[in-house]
Amino acid sequence: MDRVPVREQDSKVRATNFEEVCYGYNEEEAKLEASRCIKCKNARCITGCPVGIDIPAFIKEVQDGNFGNAAAIIAKDSSLPSICGRVCPQETQCEGKCIRGIKSEPIAIGKLERFVGDWARENGYVPEKPEKTNGHKVAVIGSGPAGLTCAGDLAKLGYEVTIFEALHEPGGVLMYGIPEFRLPKEKVVLSEIENVLKLGVKLETNVVIGRSVTIDELMDEEGFEACFIGSGAGLPKFMGIPGENANGVFSANEYLTRNNLMKAFRDDYDTPIFAAKKVAVVGGGNVAMDAARTALRLGAEVHIVYRRSEAELPARAEEVHHAKEEGIIFDLLTNPTEILVDDQGWVKGITCVRMELGAPDASGRRRPVEIPGSEFVMDLDTVIMALGTSPNPLISSTTKGLETNRWKCIVADEKNGKTTKEGVYAGGDAVTGAATVILAMEAGKAAAKGIHEYLSQKE
């Protein structure tokens, strides 16, 4: 039996709005897709899931129509099923390991997880709160996927957890980085955050660790016995080419934050965003696709400018497919060398050079090489740099004994999140640099386990 297709908004319609692209499965579709699972004895899909969800077990409950049981199974390992079901790269993780995928299409594990998460929200399912706390206080810095996961897991073990968030809204990259049309904020993100808070987790927003209060002060003066740093990677990278300081040059981080968290796409919000006519988004990852598709919805002609070929695009195939359907233009094997600026200081174009692929580099991808004499100019009014991010050094620079590497990432043991400072753990993008939501969640789970072992030994 072929995979049950997922209903989506028509590409011409969705290119003009910020409503969710994918509609997901209804109950009958979910049960039918779940029936494709062959219930492997040694399920490889579980090994492909960074947080270790018992995938065959929850799929069996979906097949039988026991959606509450399915939600309870997922809740043992993940507090964010509706989010993960939408944004995880399942094709390279759980679905990539699926036995059905060898001869046909793998089970749509992500879409089934999304279905269960949405069913749980719509039917008032709430994970069980521990009967009592153990009296130990833990601070969690950052309310993104790593922080939420760490906080949720510790709360289930009875710890008194407080999350400190620098922005006015919790959620981290889930709120400011991923667009509404991929991940609805009110309906999905805030709802799943609320479920974490229902476990007994406290949340304090507008607290900038390193400015409002330091980690040392939290531990020495406010009684926190351990701390998890899940502050993400919010410092954008640029190319270092001429013209990058011009008006009309954005980092994807700034562009998406203004549009997502500050609701710039809505006419009733007083946080406008530059109304571009023609945009170049430099980069080829998921963030580049998000920025490009956002600019398109705001009325611009949008080009993805990427120095390698389509085969090397790091973005998910689904995101590339959706971008093409919506009318994004892909200028591949193309690299900017200068941003052209008018006499008023505004972007008027970019000079680019054509590339060809040479021998593989350290990443295993073929290295792009300039083609001599292939320079050309693209006329446009906006450039969005989507070249990755690194951690903000504020926390590391204000915390004694916390070691970082040459990329300003916090040094931490990936098995348990332990850093070079006693009682301080870290994970997610603050440690690895920009990565995926699910890998940040994996790091949050590992750190929760590490903190639990550490505090248990102190008793």
- Distance separating alpha carbons of residues 149 and 154, to the nearest angstrom: 9
Which token pair is 246? 């011009």
In which residue ranges of the chain is pLDDT below 50? Answer: none
**What letter does residue 412 receive in the DSSP assignment?**
-
Is residue 21 helix, strand or coil? Answer: coil
Residue 71: predicted pLDDT = 97
User: What is the number of other CB atoms lying within 10 angstroms of the CB of residue 208?
Assistant: 16
For residues 125 and 195, the answer to whether their CB atoms sit within 8 Å is: no
User: Per residue in 56-89, is it b (16+ CB within 10 Å) or e — as a string?
Assistant: bbbbbbbbeeebebbbbbbbebbbbbbbbbbbbb
DSSP bridge pairs for 247:
346
Phi and psi (nearest 5°) for 170? Answer: -80, 165
Written as six digits, the tokens of 104 are: 């046909």
- Tokens read off for 205: 């927003």
Check residue 24 and report its DSSP letter: -
**Three-state SS at 46:** helix
The rounded distance, in Å, linking the Cα atoms of 307 and 241 is 15
Q: In what order do the strands lie in the sheet with 137-141?
A: 202-204, 160-164, 137-141, 226-229, 424-426
Residue 454 has phi, psi (to 5 degrees) of -65, -50
pLDDT at residue 361 in the model: 85
Helix, strand, coil percent content, the chain, rounded in steps of 5 = 35, 20, 45
Calpha distance 121→140 (Å, rounded): 25
Take residue 336 and report the two structure tokens written for it: 């900017």
Q: Phi then psi for 213, rounded to 5 degrees?
A: -160, 150
Q: Give the helix/strand (H/E) hosting 282.
A: strand 278-282
Do the Cβ atoms of 184 and 155 come closer than 8 Å? no
CA-wise closest residue to 327 among 1, 15, 117, 8: 15
Cβ neighbours of residue 381 closer than 8 Å, sequence gap 6 or more: 248, 276, 277, 278, 279, 346, 347, 348
pTM of structure: 0.95
Q: Are 429 and 438 in contact (CB under 8 A)?
A: no
Per-residue confidence (pLDDT) for residue 126, from 0 to 100: 85
For strand 301-306 and strand 424-426, is the pairing parallel, antiparallel, or unpaired? unpaired
